[in-house]
Structure 1
Amino acid sequence: MMADSATNHATNLGTIERTALLTAALREAETRREDRLYSDPYAAAFAGDLGRSLLAEIRAATFPPGRARTLPSTPDYNAIRTRFFDDWLTDAAREVDQVVIAPCGMDSRAFRLGWPAGVRLFELDRPVVLAAKDEVLGAAEPVVDRRAIGVDLREDGWEADLAAAGYDPGRRSAWLLEGLLYYIPEPDAHRILGRVRAQTAPGSLVAADIVNSAALTLPNMRGLLDVFAGWGCPWLFGSDEPEELFARHGVRATAVQPGDATADYGRWPDPVPPRTDTGVRRVFFVHGTRTGE
């Protein structure tokens, strides 16, 4: 049985970790839509009042009364991102039986997706995040072999903790790095991607989301960027060539943008600029296969 919300532990979350409550609030709002792209019965309890207040700030910046929207629609983006990676994980689990979500945040995929028998799902995040999550989940039973591991991905040693939980780096796996790369400095992003490479066998599957460089600096992004910076979690890293970035770390990848044919679901409200256009904001869903190189 789920608790009402992560009231006690949410106040202990750091600034970046609190964005997991924003994501939960976005998923709560999506679940209430008649045309929803997915249903997350845990999102409302995960979000709590704090998550909803964060979402209210995002809505106020994105949809200013009496003025046209100039910022990307975070609710539509998040709905598409969640559905895109839901589908990616479901497909990946038909090919591999080790799946890693890092960081997992207030993700409920272990409880709401259809997982094949025999899959192990490893959830990595800081201990305080997992404590807040478990407070909400209570006695709820996952529908997959869920193994939660309290680690900081930017610190040393989590590979040993992952192995101790039953992960085998010598076998194929699938890794999802969602809502991570743009919050950390570029050296940390390369270091984490390099460490994922060291933990994945050839043929493993890797996916992530990332913004482009212009999204960090464009004046028409300022309203959104200022909200995150004001929370103490500014966007720090973007890549104009995500395929090249992932190739540097042994992943032959494809990058799509919300609104592309495979990442639309009838919900993206804005034009999708061609990749040849410069000086425009972009977000990418990157997914690919670990090479043997």
Structure 2
Amino acid sequence: MHQQTRLPDHAPHSPADTALDAVERTALLTAALRAAESRRPDRIYDDPYAAALCGDLGPELLAEIRAVTFPQDAERTLPSTPDYNAIRTRLFDDLLQDAAHRQGLRQIVLAPAGMDSRAYRLDWPGDVRYFEVDRPAVLAYKRGRLAGLAAPRTDHHAVAADLTSPDWESRLTAAGYDPAAPSVWLLEGLLYYIPEADAHRMLDRVAALMAPGSRIVADIVNRAALTLPDMRGLLDVFAGWGCPWLFGEDEPEGLFARHGFDVTATQPGEGAADYGRWPDPVPPRAAGPVRRVFFVHGAKR
């Protein structure tokens, strides 16, 4: 059982904040990162709903991440989480938009959805069906935060299901998802939080729901990112919150190939995964041991 995220005694939190468990609260961190990016004059995307979605707790989680990432009395050794998150969000925006507008895919699945607001802030073709799968507490929190503030800009379906449950697929299809029709799936901020065996099962289950030619988008870290001493500060924060990083893969192309996908893996700062924002050198794939993050995208065979 994961321990609950520690909360400062002096800080007020809404009942909705504290109803989320440790893993679920990482979605508030992502929303806080997106809210901070949206306030920057040089922002590379704008999420007008992130500030509402991150709640009271999200900024506190972000403050912990900033404290270890940018120490006041030492050189930064950790990757820049704000820049990483900004690049990931914009790149995944672009990939999903391309799948819907240019490639003509009409089913979009976010698993898990967390505090994502792409259904609310991006333009989608009129016949797209957009599915957000996440635990009931997460979807209830999100629904409450967005009530009266925003409405989806597409045919939106919230699917209340735990991705570790044996029946989430049936709940998705009951909501209108058609496994025989092409789709694009986003697995954002998921794979490194689950054990290796569960990651393989997840990719098998997702692949079984996708028609050939469907697209997949995900992020994953390498194995060294879980063990290198210069990652310790960041890893300790997540472990202290009760949601440690558990899985990394050095060859993401091979990982996804074993589950029926042909993918490209890109590191932040490479090619389109930069947007002028990545502050660190990009290590060649042959170099090691170094920490790596991969943005993965490709198609189901």
Q: Does 1:231 align with 2:241?
A: yes
Aligned twin of 1:49: 56
Q: Does 1:18 align with 2:28?
A: no
Cα deviations by residue, 1:102-122 (Å, 9 ceiling, x for unpaired): 000000001001111100000
Aligned twin of 2:9: none
- Percent identity, aligned pairs only? 68
- Residue type at the aligned position of 1:218: L
Q: Does 1:264 align with 2:271?
A: no
Q: Does 1:251 align with 2:261?
A: yes
Query: How many pairs does the alignment contain?
Result: 286
Q: Does 1:197 align with 2:225?
A: no
Matches within 5 A, 1:178-193: 178-193=188-203
SS in 2 for 1:52: helix
Cα deviations by residue, 1:206-239 (Å, 9 ceiling, x for unpaired): 0100000000000000000000000000000000
Counterparts of 1:115 and 1:261, CA distance in 2: 25
Of 139, 153, 164, which residue of structure 1 is paired with 2:163? Answer: 153
Q: RMSD across aligned C-alpha pairs, in angstroms?
A: 0.8
What stretches of structure 2 of length at least 5 have no aligned partner?
1-12
SS in 1 for 2:287: coil
Counterparts of 2:65 and 2:265, CA distance in 1: 26
Counterparts of 1:141 and 1:79, CA distance in 2: 24
Aligned twin of 1:129: 138
- Which TM-score applies when normalising by structure 1? 0.96
Q: CA deviation at 1:8?
A: 2.7
Of 70, 74, 83, which residue of structure 2 is paired with 1:76? Answer: 83
Counterparts of 2:257 and 2:138, CA distance in 1: 31
SS in 2 for 1:159: helix
Aligned twin of 2:40: 33
Q: Does 1:120 align with 2:143?
A: no
Cα deviations by residue, 1:112-136 (Å, 9 ceiling, x for unpaired): 0111110000000000000000010
SS in 2 for 1:48: coil
Aligned twin of 2:106: 97
Of 99, 111, 118, which residue of structure 2 is paired with 1:109? Answer: 118
Q: CA deviation at 1:153?
A: 0.6
| Contact 1:100/1:122, CA 8 A, preserved across alignment | yes
- Residue type at the aligned position of 1:90: Q
- Residue type at the aligned position of 2:258: R
Greater alpha carbon shift after TM alignment, 40-49 vs 76-85: 40-49
SS in 1 for 2:166: coil
SS in 1 for 2:56: helix
What stretches of structure 1 of length at least 5 have no aligned partner?
1-5
